Structure 1
Amino acid sequence: MNVQDMMVFRDAGSRTVDKYLMSYEAHVIAVRRHPAVLLQPVAETLGGLLVAALVHTYTGLALLWIPWLLLVGRLVWKLIVWSMEFFLVTEHRVMMVSGVLNRKVAMMPLGKVEDIKLDRSPVGRVLGYGEFIIESAGDKQALRNVTYMPYPEQLYVEISSMVFGAEDESPD
């Protein structure tokens, strides 16, 4: 199974992905960021729950439930943002689609990509994500660091083969 079989969302999210593609773009890799993006908001919400429950239990003060509800609302918002954010690669360009109310599309033509670097922190290695650093000839780049990418090695090989024209000649 290659990386495209694991990552293409053409069936599940085809309306979300397809509206950013040109009619001639067929080969698409579309991935969401790794769910590790949500670890901090989840931890903060659970910590707030613990603090609110302890304060309410020992003091009877129920006022801390209101800030905790705000934390829950923030977590729901982060989940919505995560679900609507896509990293797309076609045979012509690389894009990052983000935003809920105000959609943003950062795009770089594949021909302008000079180098792709993969950076994996120790936590990223354990959890299975990495960061791509995409370099081009231009000074101001709309798409440079793409963090929390799932399947980083497979995705790196697939994108590199699209950018630099290498074909996988393995027997598998």
Structure 2
Amino acid sequence: MAYPDDLLGEDEHVVIHKHPHWKMLFWPIVVFLITVAVGAYLAALVSSQSWHTYAWIAIGVVAAIVIIWVVLGPLIRWRTTHFVITTHRVMMRFGVLTRTGIDIPMSRINSVQFRHGLLDRLVGAGTLIIESASDEPLEFDDIPNVERVHSLLYREINDDPNDDFHPGHTRSER
């Protein structure tokens, strides 16, 4: 899914657009499966009772609340969270009812780091840490293919021909 072009500036292009890694949906999926299994077991358990209809309604309501709260909430948050690198900035957009955005201009980025532990390496995710000129470092968790994203971002930062430092070139060559 491409990032909307009308939100980009002139001569700005999307380099990479990602949602958080699917690992953030692991526990909601486990809860969904457990809820369905427990609900089916309880429904079968009370099916021979005379009041089984009321029990089924209660089981269905509790299961629906759990699924909406613990499963659909994280799924919608995952789907509406965007990590975007353009030719001019790094953007993070998240939120469902209240949208929040973070923009970091490429010219303000001092350093880019990534961190991923053993589990993150197994599933192909990690944390991207961006240090800008004036703020504390920002950490973006659950970035898929974090090493590739790190490399692309580093390349975008250093490919700017207008910056003060361009390896192998002097000011007169530009």
TM-score category of the 2 structures, normalised to the smaller one: 0.7 to 0.9
Higher mean alpha-carbon deviation, 52-61 vs 17-26, is at 52-61
What amino acid sits opposite 1:76 in the alignment?
L
Local SS of the residue matching 1:106: strand
Q: Residue in 2 aligned with 1:160?
A: 154
What amino acid sits opposite 1:77 in the alignment?
G
Q: Is the 8 A contact 2:128 2:139 kept in 1?
A: yes
Q: Give the counterpart of 1:70 among 65, 68, 75.
A: 65
- The equivalences for 1:99-118 within 5 A come to 99-118=95-114
Which structure has the larger Rg over C-alpha atoms?
2
What amino acid sits opposite 1:13 in the alignment?
A
Q: What is the Cα deviation at residue 27 of structure 1?
A: 4.5
Local SS of the residue matching 2:90: strand
- The equivalences for 1:44-83 within 5 A come to 44-60=31-47, 61-62=55-56, 63-74=58-69, 75-83=71-79
**Given the superposition, is the C-alpha separation of residues 64 and 27 from structure 1 closer, same or farther in structure 2, using an over 3 Å criterion?**
closer
- Provide the rounded CA distance (Å) in 2 between the counterparts of 1:116 and 1:88: 15
Q: What is the Cα deviation at residue 71 of structure 1?
A: 2.5
Q: What is the Cα deviation at residue 164 of structure 1?
A: 3.0
Q: Is the 8 A contact 2:14 2:84 kept in 1?
A: no
- Provide the rounded CA distance (Å) in 2 between the counterparts of 1:19 and 1:84: 18
- The alignment's TM-score, normalised by the length of structure 1, stands at 0.76
Q: What is the Cα deviation at residue 54 of structure 1?
A: 2.5
- Provide the rounded CA distance (Å) in 2 between the counterparts of 1:35 and 1:20: 26
- The equivalences for 1:1-172 within 5 A come to 12-14=1-3, 17-60=4-47, 61-62=55-56, 63-74=58-69, 75-139=71-135, 144-165=138-159
- Provide the rounded CA distance (Å) in 2 between the counterparts of 1:18 and 1:96: 15
Question: Percent identity of the aligned residues?
Answer: 24
Deviation sequence 1:72-112 (CA, Å, 0-9, x none): 22323332332222111112111001122222211111111
Local SS of the residue matching 2:141: strand
What amino acid sits opposite 1:108 in the alignment?
I
Q: Is the 8 A contact 2:35 2:67 kept in 1?
A: no
**Given the superposition, is the C-alpha separation of residues 32 and 49 from structure 1 closer, same or farther in structure 2, using an over 3 Å criterion?**
same
Aligned residues: 152
What amino acid sits opposite 2:155 in the alignment?
S
Q: Is the 8 A contact 2:2 2:17 kept in 1?
A: no
- Provide the rounded CA distance (Å) in 1 between the counterparts of 2:113 and 2:99: 26
